[in-house]
Chains A and B, each alone.
Chain A
Amino acid sequence: MKITRSVFHSVTVIGLVTVACWNVADYTATMLFLRNSKTDIENVEELWAPLRDHLNVIGYRIGDLGFVSPTSLGGMTEEDKIHRTYLSYVAIPLNVVENKLDAPYVIGDFLRRRPDTLPPGLVEVYDPGNGLVLLKSARDK
């Protein structure tokens, strides 16, 4: 009886260790198969860096930052929304607000295509050539 119990105890211990290790192996495999490419956030952060540096130089470090894309004025697409969310994160502490064209500065998200004309009332301030363009109201120029 005592031996039987001891065998059962050992079997449960082996089972417990096996299940834990199997799950550990699965976690390890997931980690090994991670794509080693940059994430979307890292890509947007890289695109944002020149604009951030420019805004720092001109002394605009906190406050609202408008956001326009070729399609945003006619209603944001899902892709626009996701991109604006990424930009909101990388631009902190600036507050990225969609279609706020009266903000001191506006980001033009022209990654997919650059519009033939800029949204009315906006002029280009700085274009690092990567698809994100810094704009501002023509009145403030």
Chain B
Amino acid sequence: MTSTVASLFAIGFVVMVLLGYFIIAVVCAGRISSGLTWAFSPVVGMGASFIIHYIFRRPMVTVEVSLLVLLFVVRLLQKRSTSAQEGLRARAPLYTLWLAGVLSWMTMASFVWVAARPHGEWDGWAIWNAHARYIYRAGPVWQQHISNTAHPDYPLLIPLTNSRSWRYVGKDVPHLSGVHLVLIGVSGVLILAASLWELRANSLSLLIPLLLVGTPFYLMLGVWQYADMPLSIYILATLALLCFQRLRDPDGSRLLILAGFAAGCAASTKNEGLLFVVAVLLAQLLVGFRQLAMTIRRILMFSAGLLLPLVMTLHFKFTVPPPNDITGNRAFDELLAKIMDPERYLTIADAFLKTAGSFGHWPIHPGIPLLAVLIFWGIDRTAIRSEAWRIGALSVAIVLAGYFAVYVVTPLSLDYHLPASLDRLLMHVWPSILFLAGLAAGTRSSELPNERGPTRLPST
């Protein structure tokens, strides 16, 4: 990769991050701290860039820069009338440096890996990069030709993001997809750390993200250029933003819209994201059932944010590719036979249990120290009774139940399908599980910040 390519790629990445920053700053004016805004910027910017690239194929850069200028002006005008939410002023402990050091090391190691394997692993090039190449190389007729690839129905957020990077650089340099995904992986760790720090402000807020950095498979999925890692980050971002909405602005709608947007981006990243959208809507409905009118209003606001990315994905799915290999051409009798077969349930349950211990490709499972933390630091009962925590936990549970159900009815052999995908599916919820564990863990009294305490999770 030449220095010119690296510079042009960096410009494209910075434009994307700034787009994300100003979208969050404008939409959530004064409701979210500057630190959190920066943490969420790359993934929100990636979602916005995906929509722009899908709608405006050719004048993409012009539209992005124009939108950036417009958002900047709106933000300037807004700043005069609103005061920004102050970030937590607690002094960040030494662990911040530790996390930053390990994260930098892992990022560099991942870049070396990308340099050695620029096209990524099989699914990376055969699915996501092949789609990106059709979008980039086939010009305006890409929609007619993308069906020649493997899984042409898969959502386009990652392929369009790759194609966008190539548009900025002016040629399709294969390394860029890997570099981009490694940076998005870093932003996932930052979202986890910033969210936990703002909500809990204890040393665990910085130690638990260390467990995510120390999950080899999390970064490998980025290096391999698979879409599973960005999906896991959109799931985390949605649940974290829902937490902030319930805590910082329970009657407001702006954080809900942003959470909905993150969920919509999850649906635009992988088909499993569509299941997550259903899960998070259902979780909100079930947890807030006692205050039905308020819950419905919240769900409507969440859906408003969801709409734009979801419409893009549904438009693509209904107009371009053939049916999905899991859902297309299924016979009722075959489905019924599978649903009624208890053997399948046992096989799948066994695989879930076994893979739960290994999906991160860890030499040592981080569940052991995590469990020790929950035992010795105690569990914050107020936190786990809060609406925000219960929505997160229920969403994760519904997603996992959904994955289980898909395996029950899959047309593929379980001997092939389970080992080929289960570790990646469990990775989708791993950052969110760490987030929920970080919220649930108790706090050492000596660690309470002295200027403004952590935002407490109110129980309902």
Contact = CB atoms under 8 A, between A and B. Distances in A.
Nearest to A61: B137
B147 to A, nearest CB: 9
Given A16-B210, A42-B119, A93-B138, A23 B362 contact: yes
A26 B363 contact: yes
B164 interface: no
B339 interface: no
A39 B125 CA distance: 12
A62 B138 CA distance: 7
Contact of B364 (A19, A30, A31, A39): A19
Interface string B6-33: 0000000000000000000000000000
A17 B362 CA distance: 14
Given A42-B118, A92-B137, A20 B102 contact: yes
A137 interface: no
A39 B119 contact: yes
Interface stretch (A5-13, A73-81, A116-124): A5-13
B295 to A, nearest CB: 37
B216 A92 contact: no
Contacts of B125: 41, 89
A91 to B, nearest CB: 10
A19 B211 CA distance: 8
The secondary structure that dominates the A interface is helix
B402 interface: no
Contacts of B113: 31, 34
B137 A24 contact: no
Interface SS of chain B: helix
B216 to A, nearest CB: 4
Contact of A92 (B133, B211, B213, B368): B133
Contact of B126 (A5, A17, A85): A85
Interface in A18-36: 18-24, 26-28, 30-31, 34-36
Nearest to A23: B214
Nearest to B210: A20
Contacts of B98: 17
Contacts of B137: 92-93
Interface string B113-126: 10011110000011
A39 B362 CA distance: 25
B129 A19 contact: no
A92 B210 contact: no
Contacts of B149: 88
Interface string B75-109: 00000000000000000000000100010011001
B116 to A, nearest CB: 5
Interface of B: 98, 102, 105-106, 109-110, 112-113, 116-119, 125-126, 129-130, 133-134, 137-139, 141-142, 145, 148-149, 203, 207-208, 210-211, 213-216, 219-220, 360, 362-366, 368-370, 372-373, 376-377, 444
Given A20-B214, A22-B363, A27-B109, 11 more contacts: A9-B377, A12-B376, A16-B372, A16-B373, A20-B207, A22-B214, A23-B363, A26-B216, A39-B117, A39-B119, A92-B130
